[in-house]
Amino acid sequence: MEQAFFLLFASIAVASACGVVLLKNPVHSAVSLMACFIQIAALYILLHSPFLAAVQLFVYVGAIMVLFIFVIMMLEIRQATLERFLPGSKYIALVFSVVLGSAMLWLLFSSPLLSQIPPPTPSATQGSVSELGQALFTQYLLPFEVVSIVLLVALVGAIFMTHKGDG
C-alpha cells in the first residue's frame, strides 16, 4: 500500500519536474514546480516527518513559489520566452545530465551497503514535533541562531537591492 503511494507521488513529482524544465511559459513552469513540491511534501508524510511536510508546504508552496509568480508577472516575460534553451549547449547539457544520472543510479543499485541498513522500527515518538523542537533548541541552537541571522541579512539585502533610486 505504502509502495503504491510512493510510486504515485514519485511519478507525479518526476513528471512535473520535467514540466518545469520543458514548458515554455514561466508561469506554467512555476505551477508545475508547485505540483512537484506538493508531491515532495506527501513523500515527507510517508517518511513519518509531518512537521517537515508542513514546512515544505508553507515555505516552498506558500512563500517561495508565490514570490516567483509575483516576480514573473511583474517583469516583462515575452522576450525571454521566445527561445527556451541556450543556443548550442542544449545537447551537451542533455548528454552530461544523462551520463551523470545513469552513473548515480548505477552506483546506487550496485552498492551492497544500502541493503545492510535494517528497516526502521516504528515508534510512537519518532519524528514527533516535540522531539524535533527539543533537538533544535538544545543540540542545534547555534546553527539555528546563525540561520536566523542569515535570514535577516537576506531580508535587508533584498530590500536594499530592489529599492528604487541610486541605492
Partner 1 sequence: MAPLSWYIALSASLFVIGLYGVLSRRNVLIVLMCLELMLSAVNINLVAFSFFLSHLGGQIFAIFVITVTAAEVAVALAIVIAYVRHKGSLKIDEISIMKG
Q: Least distance to partner 1 from the beta carbon of 51, Å?
A: 8
What is the closest distance, in whole angstroms, from the C-beta atom of residue 117 to partner 1 in the complex? 6
Residue 60 as a binder of partner 1 (CB under 8 A): the answer is: yes
Binding mask 85-104 for partner 1 (x = CB under 8 A): xxx-xx--xx-xxx-xx--x
Q: How far apart are the first and last CA of the chain?
A: 57
Closest CB 91 distance from partner 1, rounded Å: 9
Whose cell is 508553507? That residue is 58
64 binds partner 1 (CB under 8 A): yes
Nearest alpha-carbon partner for 25 in 85, 82, 68: 82
Minimum distance from CB of 40 to partner 1 (Å)?
A: 6
Considering only residues 11 through 30, tell me which ones interact with partner 1, judged by CB under 8 A: 13-14, 17-18, 20-21, 26, 29-30
Q: Which residues 6+ apart lie within 8 Å of 10 measured at CB? A: 39, 43
Does 141 contact partner 1 by CB under 8 A?
no
Q: Measure CA 136 to chain center.
A: 21
Angle at 135 between CA 133 and CA 136, to 5 degrees: 60
Q: How far is CA 93 from CA 3, 84, 127, 147, in A?
A: 33, 14, 39, 34
Q: Binders of partner 1 among 116-135, rule CB under 8 A? A: 117, 119-121, 126-127, 131-132, 135
Phi-psi region of 122 (alpha: psi -120 to 50; beta: other; left: phi over 0): beta
Member of 8, 141, 145, 158 binding partner 1 (CB under 8 A):
158
Min CB(43)–partner 1 separation in Å: 6
Q: Is 74 in the site for partner 1 (CB under 8 A)?
A: yes
